[in-house]
Each structure stands twice: as C-alpha cells, then as structure tokens.
Structure 1
Amino acid sequence: MIAITRPTLLLNEKQCKINIQRMADKAKRLNVQLVPHFKTHQSSEIGEWFKAHGIENITVSSVKMAEFFARSGWSNITVAFPFNMHEIPAVNRMLNQNVKLTLFVVNTGVIDRLNEELEAPVNLFIEMDAGYGRSGVSTKDIAKVKELAALIEAGSMTSLYGLYCHPGNTYHAHSVEEIKNIWAGVIQEMLAVKTALEPDGASLKIRVGDTPGCAMVEEMEGVDEIGPGNFVFYDLVMNYLDVCTESDIAVAMACPVVAKNEGRNEIIIHGGAVHFSKDHLFDENEERFFGEVVVLEEEGWSPILGGIKLVSLSQEHGVLRATPEVFEAIEVGDILGVLPIHSCLTANLMKSYTTLNGQEIKHLESF
C-alpha cells in the first residue's frame, strides 16, 4: 500500500471509470445526450476518461473552470451558473480561441451587456426554477421567460439554445420514489414552458442536471440532455439517498491517527474542516456526523465500519467517536480511511488526488 503521511484524498480510478461508463450507457439507452458537469472532479486527466464514451461537450460551474478546461482541449462548454457580466472579457478570450460557449441568463440586463460587449456569438440557456428555490426564472413566470427569449433572439450576439433546470431538491428527498416524482414534475413544467414559447420553442433543448435524478430516473421523455456531476465519485449523501451503494464511492480520505482519549472513547485524526468541509449528515439517532470510517486496503477500502463515526471537525482536527471495542483496535499511527459527505467540496479543498497505485492527479486548484 502507498505511504501516507498526511491527509490524502485517495481515488479508486477503476471505480471512477465504472461510474462514468454507467452514466454514459444510461444516457445512450434513454436517448439523451450526456453533457457531464466537471465541477466535481475539476481535473483535466479525469476529464479525458470521459472521451472514451464519446463525450465532447461538458458543463462547468464557473468561467474560471471553463478557461481551465478550454486549455485542456475542450471546445464546447456550458457555464452552469447565472452569468456574471464582469467576466465578459474572459468569455471573449475563449471565444477568440474558437471555444463554443453556452451561458446561463436569468435577467434582461445581462443579455443587453452580452450583446453590447461580446466579440463573437454565444448560445444561452434560460435557467429555470421548478421548485428548488435557488436561482432561475420560475417555471410559472411564462411572461418573464417570453421576455428573455425575445430579447435573446433579437440580439446580434445571442441565440437561445434551451431551458435548463437543476432540481436540487432531489438532494433532500426521503426516498428514490420521491426523487422520481420530483423529476416527473420538473419535466412536466419544463415542457409547459417550452410549449408556451412555440412555435419558436419547438427547437429548444431541455437539459436537467442533478445526480440523484440522472442516476435513478428511467422516464426521461421530453428531456434532451442531462448534466450530472457528482456521479463521477459519489459520496455519503448519495449513499444515504440510496442513489449509490457504498462500493460506488470512488474517493476516500486517508487520515493519520494522532491521539486517543480513553475517557471519551474518541480518536483524533489529522483531517479537519480544511480537508473535508463541514457538510454533514444525521444518523438514525439524529446525531450529526461528518464522515464514515473504512479500513484502507491494497485494492481500495473495506465496507463502512460499524461502531465509529467522524463526529466533529475543527480546522485540522477530526474527532472520531467509537465503541470501546473499535477504540481498542485502533492505534496512534494507524492510517484510517474516511468516506466524505460531499465529494465535490472535499475534492475542491484537497486540490489533488492520489490513485491507489500512488499516482498524483492534479485538480484545477493544484495550479
């Protein structure tokens, strides 16, 4: 096994590639285009693994990320975030390098600025909110959608590509059936908006992007494209939603044990909020926790251990609370694996990956 000296984000490359293949195969089976979101891995090398499945178009969450992947050779990129007009110069740089960009808009002012300042045309999604309540135009506000669509089509530098929805409320679902019901409602509302835009709306694409729905929903009639991201690694949120199994999770944090407190049956690891983030879940007893413990092995890691959880994080410290039996079995100097709650944030904080054979894979923030 590779030598671990400090918190290290381990990547099971084999499992990661299986996750990619599974989603690519599903998209083909359901006749939708997979435009994967690269915000989770943010790695040019991992991005290359998608090309084996014919992926040419990708999604990112920032203009900075778009620039990174454009430098890595990707030439058709959707920036899935309400466009920040202050980044028009960066967009122009990419457009002048023949990168095809699709941006999100939710208000008229941004559309006006794009048409005034862009040096080459872009496609636009109108971001829709079908009940999640984050960003986007409400699917009920047809007048607003029509206003945006007309302004986009009237512009010399903007073309309306489609309608995009991120139904993030699936992350708060209590069952797979609820995830499917949320998606059914989203599709119905998106199709109603598209119909309201006809005849011009007939050619518009509908894209929906969230891993719980994209992984679990089998009825996607009316959806043209999907843009999930977390599926590349999965994590405990997805496992607790029954969206993935433990064995689907492709990343684990390797953390050295640095101290033990017998009076409290607590074990201190080097692995804190600066490594994991402070995202958390609640167990069956409504106790908050920040990660599940596994035993690191040559070919990956064990199933989740019972009797121990990561229950507290400060900047560099992680506190594991264990049953007496598990506490006694762990020694100072051991290296434990911890499955993350939210792999996207953990990867962003760690800024690189180490494969099971010791290869370093860089992340956007590595540079």
Structure 2
Amino acid sequence: MRTLHDLDTPFAVVDRSRVLANVARLRERLAPHNVVLRPHVKTAKSTEVAELIFDGRPGPITVSTLAEAEAFADKGFRDITYAVGITAQKLPRIRALQERGVVVTVLLDSVEQAEAVAGIPALIEVDCDGHRGGVSATGDELAQIGQVLTESGSLAGILLHAGESYFAYTPQELKAAAVNEADVARRAATTLRQAGLDVPTVSIGSTPTAHAFTTDIDLSGITEVRAGNYVFFDLVMAGIGVCTVDDLALSVVVTVIGHQTSRGQILTDGGWMATSRDRGTARQPIDQGYGLVAELDGTLIPDLLMSDASQEHGTLSLRPGSPYPLPNLPIGTRLRILPNHACATAAQHRQYTVISSQADLVVENVWERIQGW
C-alpha cells in the first residue's frame, strides 16, 4: 500500500471525493434549467475525471486540443466540440475522427474559416463581453458566416464564453455576467433566425457563470452550458466567490529542502515547473502568491504562501503583515501547494495521484493526463 509519503516529489494529487462533490454541485445547479451540460475537459485532460461526470459513461464534451479529442474518442466519446478557432491544417485530423463515427463540431468566427470547413459541423463564436474572439451578436458578419455554413450543410449553431466573468468579484457581478451571456446568446440566435437560418445549438458557459445560473435567471433558448475548471476549482475561483478553498480538489506535493531563516524563507523542491507561473490572484482583492501551503493531510498553514518560484525551487514565506511566526518545517517535511489556476498547474504533470479524500494519504489510483496538441 503506497501513501503520499512514498512517492518522489513534486507530484500532483487529486482528491476524488472533492471532484465528485464539485460535479454534483454543478449538476444540481443546472438541473432546473433543462440544459445539457457539455463539460470542458481542458482542465483535467483525463478520461477518468470525465467518466466521474457522466457516471462511467461517455457524454458530450468540449475540448481545447485535437489530442484531447482523439484520446477521448479512443474511450468511446462520440460528441465533441473543439472550442478553439479552427484552421485548415487541422481539418484532416477532424475528418479522420469523423470517419470513426465521432461528431466533432468546430468553432469559427470568419467567412474564411466557414468556407474551409464544408461538411464539418461548425459553431459560430459570438463575443458577449469583449474578452477574446467572436463576432457581434447583431452585426452583418454573423449572418454572412451563417449563410456560408448553411450552404455547405455545416451550421450547427453559436457558442459564447463569458471570459470577463473571471474578473467579477461579487455575487451581483457574477449574476450580471451570467444574465448578459444568456441575453447576448439569444440576440445572436435571433439574428440568424431572422436571416432564415437554423440555430440548433446555443452554447454558453464558463465556470463562474455556470455557477451563477440561479433559478430566477432565464435560460430559455439556451441548449447547453459548458464549464471545465469546476471539477478541480482553484484559488482564482475561490477569490471570485465561486467556491471555497475547501472545495479545491487538486494540489501539488512538495518537500522542504532548505531554509533561509534570515530572510524568513523556506525552500521546497516544487518550483514553477511543478505549480506553473500563474499569478491569477495577483489582480484579486487577496493575492495568494503562487499558492497556499497546507500540511500533507490538507490542513492549511496560517498565512504561509508559496511566494516565489524558480524552475525547480519554490520559496515559502509568510503573508506580509502576518501575526504568525514562520513555522518550523524541517528538511524532508512534505507539504501541499494549492494552485492559483488548476488548468495551468495540472498541465505541468503527466499524471494524477488519486486519493479518496483530503485527509486520506493512501494512494487509491493513478490517472494519466492527455498531453500535447
């Protein structure tokens, strides 16, 4: 029987009980709205995590790479949305998946792309908040793209992503982002239908807005909701109030390797190659450095942060102004780092070491991650 004491550090740990709780929470949140949940697997990149969402069966998913699409297709997933703008050189791999009976729906926001994807189902990306890609919900370009896709039998619908919701810090702001996302989606669908075009899929979602869809929010006309980060959650999501630190299912185990007592620092073997350089909480009301620090059983150490990172060294120090003394953590002590951004931290690892619950140090399983593009 292996435990978290037995493995070489650093390594990524997933608490299966917390994943299940996070999955159940979103499922319950969306249940009154009669929409399909199409989880985004880009966070975990793990077929085992996706199977927890679908109770062991394949279901509709969103991917961010064709490597994900191919790996999930190998496991029986047959309804996949590739939610990154399509380019022509990727079409042969998509057609190869089609030949295997996999429906891969692509994403685009230009006439040029629409002309290239003839015969492949496509969603038009609509911009709802100026965050990234997409066309206006009411402009001529949307209908023009829709017409090109319709002529080749490729128009599958529209897709929106409320990227600015990641910078909403109150329940009111999150709810406003969720309402806006749904409203803009309906306007875009109306634009296409007024042009005589069918819009079978109206896809919206992000982890923040999906959790803000209270029963009084109108999701009529919305067919599906996407979210991905919610399976693990992270400090950014905790910082905007979508979850609490106790909901975080991913952490990285590191070992104390040195001390710089005069500088109030503790060194570990977990640098940015283990935790990533993501500093997503720096723009939030509470800056969590490169991550919070917990004992191996998951108990948070008060005010101790991963305050700096080089490639293979992590630096731990107290939060500025902390009333607590620097803890006595001898060389060899194992700790857990709770990440700012679960997607970025998970991407540093080839596999997850799985435990059944936060305080259970027994290794229950190992889940491989999908890597590459």
User: Could you tell me the TM-score, scaled by structure 1's length?
Assistant: 0.91
1:143 maps to 140
1:163 maps to 158
Conserved 8 A contact 2:14-2:251: yes
Counterpart Cα distance in 2 of 1:103 and 1:239:
31
Opposite residue 13 of structure 1, the aligned amino acid is R
Counterpart Cα distance in 1 of 2:285 and 2:209:
27
Compare 44-53 and 327-336 and name the one that shifted more: 44-53
Conserved 8 A contact 2:288-2:340: no
Match of 1:173 among 168, 172, 187: 168
Counterpart Cα distance in 1 of 2:124 and 2:148:
11
Is the partner of 2:371 in helix, strand or coil? helix
Match of 2:181 among 177, 186, 192: 186
Compare 56-65 and 357-366 and name the one that shifted more: 357-366
Decide whether aligned partners of structure 1 residues 254 and 288 sit closer, same or farther in structure 2, where only a CA change above 3 A counts. Answer: closer
Q: CA deviation at 1:36?
A: 0.5
Say whether 1:208 aligns with 2:207.
no
Counterpart Cα distance in 2 of 1:136 and 1:220:
23
1:195 maps to 190
Q: CA deviation at 1:286?
A: 6.9
Q: Percent identity?
A: 25
Counterpart Cα distance in 1 of 2:366 and 2:55:
21
Conserved 8 A contact 2:39-2:62: yes
Q: CA deviation at 1:185?
A: 1.7
1:19 maps to 22
2:78 maps to 75
1:187-234 deviation line (CA, Å, top 9, x unaligned): 222211211222545643211121011012211423221010000000
Q: CA deviation at 1:25?
A: 2.6
Opposite residue 137 of structure 1, the aligned amino acid is V
Conserved 8 A contact 2:39-2:228: yes
1:243 maps to 242
Opposite residue 362 of structure 1, the aligned amino acid is E
- Paired residues in the alignment total 355
Q: Structure 1 segments of 4 or more deviating over 6 A?
A: 283-286
Counterpart Cα distance in 2 of 1:326 and 1:351:
36
Conserved 8 A contact 1:8-1:354: yes
2:358 maps to none
**Structure 2: runs of 5+ lacking an equivalent:** 356-361
Q: CA deviation at 1:50?
A: 2.0
Counterpart Cα distance in 2 of 1:76 and 1:25:
22
Conserved 8 A contact 1:180-1:216: yes
Counterpart Cα distance in 1 of 2:287 and 2:107:
39
**Structure 1: runs of 5+ lacking an equivalent:** 116-120
2:273 maps to 274
* RMSD, matched Cα: 2.1
Q: CA deviation at 1:49?
A: 1.4
Say whether 1:307 aligns with 2:313.
no
Q: CA deviation at 1:176?
A: 2.1
Opposite residue 313 of structure 2, the aligned amino acid is H
User: Could you tell me the TM-score, scaled by structure 2's length?
Assistant: 0.90
Q: CA deviation at 1:305?
A: 2.5
Conserved 8 A contact 2:201-2:223: yes
2:225 maps to 226
Counterpart Cα distance in 2 of 1:85 and 1:285:
42
Match of 1:106 among 109, 124, 128: 109
Counterpart Cα distance in 1 of 2:338 and 2:62:
26
